[in-house]
Structure 1
Amino acid sequence: MTEDIYSHLTQLGGETKLPLSPDQAVLERVPNPHPGTRYTVRFVTPEFTSLCPMTGQPDFAHLVIDYIPRDWLVESKSLKLFLGSFRNHGDFHEACTVGIGKRLAETLDPEWLRIGGYWYPRGGIPIDVFFQTGPQPEGVWIPDQGVPPYRGRG
């Protein structure tokens, strides 16, 4: 691979400020170094935060993103900045989780993508949100997301 395939990247390799909102965040992609090989890519964000749109109080989640790439991989710094942009964004758990999954699917056009949003309790009720682009493909290893159901003190 040559430097030319990375020349379009605007965030990697330098100081980049956290975007003010998910809409302003730029998700960048890089060519898949193994096109035609089916494999799973996983990102885990155990300290994801957003804001409740009604109270402005922080919400916390453990996100697990799995995808099977075709031609593109998400550039990880841009993903980190995109996810960090939710820190000051007010939206419900479902909107955040599904919105992240749809934005990644639109940017990457993966063979398959899923996101599990394991949200910590709000008002005593944990809310888990799951999105995937289609049936789980056969013939490629996709591990369990490994996040147990919330048990609190139980």
Structure 2
Amino acid sequence: MTKKDIYRDLKQLGGATVLPESPEQAELERVPNPQAGTPYCVRFTAPEFTSLCPITGQPDFAHLMIDYVPGDWLVESKSLKLFLGAFRNHGAFHEDCTVSIAKRLCDLLAPQWLRIGGYWYPRGGIPIDVFYQTGPAPEGVWIPDQGVPPYRGRG
């Protein structure tokens, strides 16, 4: 399989796309990992992630950090961007949003390892940080600290 062949089934990259109405409607796409068998870490940072409070409908904001060690598949980044954007009108608590994103990526990619840090901005005076990972980090792979400082307010 040539490198060009691994991209032939992508539906969203390179064309006009519309933000999905919901995360459930979003189509996450994957491509074969051309470096399968080589352990390495991939990081996605979404510093302007938004969702809605399921009770009040008020917006919630987070800085998401997604790290994964791929197996046979990579997530296509435009489809990931559209998937994350679909949470803009989705009502769910911080914990549910964060863990749901991780589980959807794990179901799609079957990565060797994945972790997500959801660093949610304060609402009602309390920031909520949500962390999920699939197990211990693989040995021999450099996995940098997520580097997002805890919320300090004025302190």
Q: TM-score range by the shorter chain?
A: over 0.9
SS at match of 2:127: coil
Deviations 1:99-121 (A, max 9, x none): 00000011000000000000000
Residue in structure 1 matched with residue 134 of structure 2 by the alignment: 133
Structure 1: which 5+ runs fail to align?
A: none
SS at match of 1:121: strand
Residue in structure 1 matched with residue 12 of structure 2 by the alignment: 11
**Bigger Cα displacement from structure 2, 2-11 vs 91-100:** 2-11
TM-score normalised by L of structure 1: 0.98
Note the C-alpha offset of 1:3.
2.8
Q: Distance in 1 between matches of 2:113 and 2:91?
A: 28
Residue in structure 2 matched with residue 115 of structure 1 by the alignment: 116
Q: Distance in 2 between matches of 1:5 and 1:29?
A: 9
Count of aligned pairs between the two proteins: 154
Paired residues of 2:50 and 2:88 also in contact (CA < 8 A): yes
Structure 2: which 5+ runs fail to align?
A: none
Q: Letter of the 1:141 partner, please give it.
A: W
Residue in structure 2 matched with residue 96 of structure 1 by the alignment: 97
Residue in structure 1 matched with residue 70 of structure 2 by the alignment: 69
Q: Distance in 1 between matches of 2:77 and 2:94?
A: 23
Residue in structure 2 matched with residue 43 of structure 1 by the alignment: 44
Q: Distance in 1 between matches of 2:117 and 2:143?
A: 13
Q: Distance in 2 between matches of 1:49 and 1:117?
A: 11
Q: Letter of the 1:24 partner, please give it.
A: Q
Q: Distance in 2 between matches of 1:137 and 1:39?
A: 10
SS at match of 1:73: strand
